[in-house]
Amino acid sequence: MARAKVTRYLAVGAAGALVLGLAACSGGGGGGGVSADGTATVVWSTWGTADELTRYEEFNKDFMKRHPDIKVKLQPVASYGDYHSKLLAQLTSNTAPDVFYVGDDKIGQFVDSKRLMPLNDLMDSKDSKTKKDDFFPGLFGAAEKDGETYAAPNDSNPDVFWYDKQALATAGITEDPATLAENGEWTTDKFLEMNAKLHDAGLTGTMYWNYWATHWSWLSSQGVDAPYSDSGEFTANKDSAAVDAMQQFGDLFQDGTFVVADSLPDGAGADSVFVTHKAGFFVQGRYTIGTVKATGEEASYDIAPWPTPDGTAAPTGVATSFLAINGKTKVKDAAFTFWTEFLSAEGQTFRLQGGGNAVPSIKGADDVVLEDGYPAHAQTFLDMRDIGFEDYPAEAAVPGLPVDIADELLKLYEGKEDAKAALDNVASLVKDRSEK
C-alpha cells in the first residue's frame, strides 16, 4: 500500500511501538458476552501509536468506573496494513470484536459488507450521547449509505499548511501566511510567490503526502467543482478548469518547488526536512505539534489554511477514522453505551486533551484544540474542519481505489504523464473498479 497520508495520521509508528510494547495485548479475536453475574464484556479493536493506546486504556478504566456492569477489553493490532484484512476475516467468521475502528480509505468496503450495525435509530435514542446532528456533517463520507449511518468519525485532522518562519525568512519572505489568511489575503498567487522564493533560495517550497486529500483539496481550493458527479461518475477529466488546475499542480512538483513527501528517503524524510528549516510549508494535521515541539523551536512554526484565488476559505480534505459496531454483537446495549460515550464530546475531550493529536469530530469539545494556545492560529484547525470534507463516497467505497488513484496521479507529479492523460486514466480506473 502506498504511504497514503491517511495511514500516517492514523498509524505512524504503530508497528514498532506496538510490537515492542503492546503485542502481548493482542488476542485472537472474538467479541464479548454476558457473564453469570450479568456483567457484559465489550471487546473493541483499533491500531495506534503507543501513546494513543495508553490513552485508550485510560479511557477504558474511566468508563468501567462509571459502568461497573460493563467490562471493556482493548484488542490492538500492530499494523494498519494488516488491521482491516484481519477484521474482515473476523467478521466473516463471526469472531470479530463488538466495536472497532475503520480507516476512511476502508469504510465503504465495510459498509458494503453488511456486517456493520445501522446507527440512525441508536443515535436518536434516549441513551445516546451522540446525536447525528452533533457531528460535523462533512466528516461522514462513505460511512453513510442510502440514508443510513454505519459508523461515525472518532475525531478528525484537517490538512493545514504548517509553515516555518525561519525558512521563510531565509528566502527573504517577510509576510506571515496566517496573518494574510486572517485578512483575506492568503491567495494562490501569494502562496506561489513565496514558493518561488523558497525554491530560488535552494529550499523546498511545500511538501505534500500523495493521497486523496492532497489532489482533491487542490481542486476545491482553486474553485474547481468536485471531481465526482452526484451519481458517482468521475468527471474531473472532462472539466477544463480541473485539468488546468491539476497541470499547474503537477508542474510545480516537476520543477522541484513542491515535493511528494512519500518519495523522500528514509533518514531524510519530510519531518526531518521540515524541522531542519529546509522547507517552507508542510501540509499535515494537528499531530505535527509533537514533531515541532520536540525541536525546542516551536515558536518558529504556525499554520494557515489552503490558499485560494481570492483569499476566501474553501472546503478542503479532512482525514478521519471511524468507529463502528459489529452487527452481530452479543452485547448490543453495552456496545452502544461504549460507542456513544467514546465518541461523545466528553469522550473526545478525555482522549484529546493535554496535547492530543487530532481535532474533535463532534460539537462541544473544541476547547481541547485551543487549550494551550499552540500553534498561535490553532483556531484554523476548527475553521477548516467546520467546512471540510471526507473522501468522496464514490472513491472511498471501492477497496483500494484511493491508493490506486494516488499511484496514477503520482505519474503526473513525476512528469510521466500530463494532467489530461492522468485524469483520463483515473476516470477509466474509477469506472472499471466501480463496475467490478
What distance in Å separates the CA atoms of residue 345 and residue 342, rounded to the nearest whole number?
9
Joined grid coordinates for residue 284? 499535515
pLDDT value for 29: 57
pLDDT value for 399: 86
The answer to whether the CB of 207 falls within 8 A of the CB of 213 is no
Q: State the first-to-last Cα distance of the chain, in angstroms, to the nearest integer.
A: 20
Angle between helices 212-221 and 240-254 (to 10 degrees): 120
Instruction: Read off the pTM.
Output: 0.91
Percent with pLDDT over 70 in the chain: 93
The answer to whether the CB of 195 falls within 8 A of the CB of 173 is no
Residue type, 84: H
Joined grid coordinates for residue 346? 466528553
What distance in Å separates the CA atoms of residue 341 and residue 348, rounded to the nearest whole number?
9
What distance in Å separates the CA atoms of residue 195 and residue 279, rounded to the nearest whole number?
10
pLDDT value for 9: 38
pLDDT value for 4: 39
Q: Please identify every stretch of the chain with a pLDDT value under 70, giving residue numbers as ranges.
A: 1-29
H or E segment and range at residue 384: helix 379-387
What distance in Å separates the CA atoms of residue 269 and residue 279, rounded to the nearest whole number?
12
What DSSP designation does 129 have?
S
CA distances from 154 to 2, 34, 50, 54, 320 (A): 23, 26, 18, 16, 7
What distance in Å separates the CA atoms of residue 46 and residue 88, rounded to the nearest whole number?
13
- CA-closest candidate to residue 431, choices 242, 233, 238: 233
Residue 397: strand, helix, or coil? coil
Domains in the chain, start-ordered, CATH in brackets?
A: 5-157+321-387 (3.40.190.10), 160-316+398-435 (3.40.190.10)
Please provide residue 359's backbone torsions phi and psi, each rounded to the nearest 5 degrees. Answer: -115, 135
pLDDT value for 20: 30
Residue 162: strand, helix, or coil? strand
What distance in Å separates the CA atoms of residue 387 and residue 134, rounded to the nearest whole number?
15
Residue type, 254: Q
What distance in Å separates the CA atoms of residue 434 and residue 123, rounded to the nearest whole number?
31
